[in-house]
Structure 1
Amino acid sequence: MIEIKNLSKEFQTADGTVEALKDVSLTIHDGDIYGIIGMSGAGKSTLVRCINMLERPTEGQVLIDGQDIGALSKAELRKARREITMIFQGFNLLMQRTCLKNICFPLELAGVNKTDAKKRAMELLEMVGLPDKANAYPAQLSGGQQQRIAIARALATEPKVLLCDEATSALDPKTTHSILELIRDINHRLGISVIIITHQMSVVEEICSHVAILDEGRVAEEGLVSEIFSSPKSKAAKRLVFPEGADEILLDSKGERRIRVVFSGAVASRTPLIAKMAMEEHIPASILGASTRSIGDKAYGNMLLGITGDDDMVRRAMEYLRSIPDVLVEEVTDNV
């Protein structure tokens, strides 16, 4: 288990002190895939670098299985980092080494003999789906293939924790999906805890079970991905979950009420939901904004409706929409 307790980090700059992290506390359980998300400058990368002490926090602790990582000696920290490995947006492969030798590199540093290191590296090449690239150089590979080699290298020392700092940001959507599938498979197969640092809600939605949203160095909101995506409470979470800003649409006519409908895996129907509500319940509604998509036969996303009517009509509309499985409904009463 990873426990981040009251973590703060300050940097001294020419313009004064910058507070990158402010009293951050999180708990990440063994085997979890945990997302940390926020806008640029929120403190995400600083936080992940504090977890393995590439950055020393100004205050607070990072405990891994009860051990205070910040209290370790240099030699103890080097040993601990074999169990807390990291992959990056830029892959960080050694361009003059073959893929096999890139994977062998951390094993060499750990004192593993060449025969055992090569055997382990070949097993990892198989695991990441590139057994035929042992003698290729990174420059000969695509971006997705390079990241697979970086993942294999990160797994070489059999870590307990894998840190992913914007690991898919440089990849196209299809390649991103394949890398996330690989990380999920590794998590299930090896039981490794994974921490995903990203600015992309789609990444968190696809792979993470829990998420923390950082805003200006603080934890604005945390919890199950399904709960935060369905009903974000903080302004920072709402900005990320509803990037189109639909909540900011002004009321166009006197008496219009706004209802947000969130689809979290509802069975998609060929009959338009709003038209069906109008026909069956005689409740007309205008669509003020929507961001939805279908995955298989399931619908995901959100929709903002405008309803002009009395309290009874709004109540009936909400009851009708709530009767649909995997649909959450709330009235929007303030702007974000």
Structure 2
Amino acid sequence: MIEIKNLSKEFETADGKVEALKNVNLTISDGDIYGIIGMSGAGKSTLVRCMNMLERPTEGTVLIDGCDMGSLSMAELRKVRREITMIFQGFNLLMQRTCLKNICFPLELAGVDKADAKKRALKLLEIVGLPDKANAYPAQLSGGQQQRIAIARALATEPKVLLCDEATSALDPKTTHSILELIRDINARLGITVIIITHQMSVVEEICSHVAILDDGHVVEEGLVSTVFSSPKSEAAKRLVFPDGADEIMTETPGERRIRVVFSGALAAKTPLIAQMAMEEQVVASILGASTRSIGDKAYGNMLLGITGGDEMVQRAMTYLSNIEDVLVEEVTDHVG
């Protein structure tokens, strides 16, 4: 378990003191895929660097399995960091080394026997789907393949925690999806806790079970992804859920009730869902706003519906939509605006 308690971080700049993090409190359970999302400058990367003490917090503590990271000596930190590895947007591979030797590198630093290191690296190449790239150099690979090698290298020391700092930001949507699928598979197969740092809501929607929203150094909202995105309370969350602006969407209409539908991997039907609901249940709904996408045959995102006809019509709509796997439905009572 990772516990972040009352964490603050200040930097001295030419223009004075900057508070990058302000009294952050988070608990991340073992084996979770946890998203930390916010816009540029929110403090995300500073937070993840504080977790492994690449940045020393000004105040507060980071506990990993009860161990206070801030109390460790440099030698102890180096040992613990083998269990808390990172992947980055820029891959950070050693360009003069082959893929196999890139993966072996952290094992060399840890003093692992060369034959054992090579054996483990070859196994990791299999896990990330690139068994034929052992002798290739990073420059010969696509961006997605380079990130797979970076993931294999991060797994070399058999970590308990994988920190992903904007790891898919430089990749196209199709490649991003394949990398997220790989991370999900690694999480399930190896039981590694994964922390995803991103500014992309689609990444959190696709892979994370829990999310914290960071804004100006503060955690302004946190919880289950389905709950936070189905009914955002903070202004920062509302901006993420409704990137085109919520004020116009939420203009009151007499007699209309609103429900929000969150898709977290629901199978996309050939017939549009709302049209299908109208045919089968005689429920007519207006789509007031939507931010959805299909990846393969699955739907991700959210939709805001307006329904007239009173309690019975709203209940029929909610019952119908709730019976669809990987769909969360909630009536909106706290209007965004």
Q: Is TM > 0.5 for Structure 1 vs Structure 2?
A: yes
SS at 1:10's partner residue?
strand
Q: Report Cα offsets for 1:22-60 as digits up to 9, x if no partner.
A: 111111111111111111111111100000001110000
Over 3 Å counting, the alpha-carbon distance change for 1:298 and 1:154 in structure 2 is: closer
Q: Report Cα offsets for 1:135-186 as digits up to 9, x if no partner.
A: 1110000000100110111111111110000000101111111111111111
Count, aligned residues = 329
Q: Which amino acid aligns with 1:224?
A: L
Aligned residue number for residue 109 of structure 1: 109
**Distance across 2 between alignment mates of 1:266 and 1:320:** 21
- Select the structure of larger CA radius of gyration: 1
How far off is 1:268 after superposition?
4.5
SS at 1:325's partner residue?
helix
Aligned residue number for residue 139 of structure 1: 139
Q: What pairs up with 1:232-247 in 2 under 5 angstroms? A: 232-247=232-247
| Structure 2: tracts of 5 or more residues without a match | 323-327
**Distance across 1 between alignment mates of 2:318 and 2:191:** 37
Please tell me whether the aligned partners of residues 268 and 294 of structure 1 are also in contact (alpha carbons under 8 angstroms): no
Over 3 Å counting, the alpha-carbon distance change for 1:96 and 1:233 in structure 2 is: same
Greater mean alpha carbon deviation, residues 242-251 or residues 190-199: 242-251
Q: Which amino acid aligns with 1:302?
A: M
Q: Report Cα offsets for 1:223-281 as digits up to 9, x if no partner.
A: 1112112222222112112223244346487x474624314448848376379659976
Aligned residue number for residue 118 of structure 1: 118
**Distance across 1 between alignment mates of 2:52 and 2:73:** 13
2:261 is aligned with 1:262: yes
SS at 2:112's partner residue?
coil
Aligned residue number for residue 329 of structure 2: 328
SS at 2:288's partner residue?
strand
| Structure 1: tracts of 5 or more residues without a match | 308-312
2:2 is aligned with 1:2: yes
Q: What pairs up with 1:218-297 in 2 under 5 angstroms? A: 218-249=218-249, 251=251, 255=254, 257=256, 259-264=258-263, 265=266, 268=269, 270=271, 273=274, 286-293=286-293, 296=297
Over 3 Å counting, the alpha-carbon distance change for 1:256 and 1:12 in structure 2 is: farther
Greater mean alpha carbon deviation, residues 188-197 or residues 271-280: 271-280
**Distance across 2 between alignment mates of 1:250 and 1:102:** 52
Over 3 Å counting, the alpha-carbon distance change for 1:247 and 1:314 in structure 2 is: farther
Tell me the TM-score normalised to structure 1 length. 0.89
**Distance across 2 between alignment mates of 1:124 and 1:299:** 30
CA RMSD in angstroms comes to 2.6
Q: Which amino acid aligns with 2:329?
A: L
Over 3 Å counting, the alpha-carbon distance change for 1:280 and 1:190 in structure 2 is: closer
Q: What pairs up with 1:81-92 in 2 under 5 angstroms? A: 81-92=81-92
Aligned residue number for residue 172 of structure 1: 172
SS at 1:96's partner residue?
coil
Please tell me whether the aligned partners of residues 33 and 209 of structure 2 are also in contact (alpha carbons under 8 angstroms): yes
Please tell me whether the aligned partners of residues 84 and 163 of structure 1 are also in contact (alpha carbons under 8 angstroms): yes
Percent sequence identity is 73
Aligned residue number for residue 310 of structure 1: none
Aligned counterpart for 1:319 among listed residues 309, 315, 319 = 315
Please tell me whether the aligned partners of residues 42 and 214 of structure 1 are also in contact (alpha carbons under 8 angstroms): yes
Aligned residue number for residue 50 of structure 1: 50
How far off is 1:122 after superposition?
1.0
Please tell me whether the aligned partners of residues 8 and 24 of structure 1 are also in contact (alpha carbons under 8 angstroms): yes
**Distance across 2 between alignment mates of 1:275 and 1:124:** 45
**Distance across 2 between alignment mates of 1:51 and 1:158:** 18
Over 3 Å counting, the alpha-carbon distance change for 1:179 and 1:267 in structure 2 is: closer
**Distance across 1 between alignment mates of 2:183 and 2:117:** 22
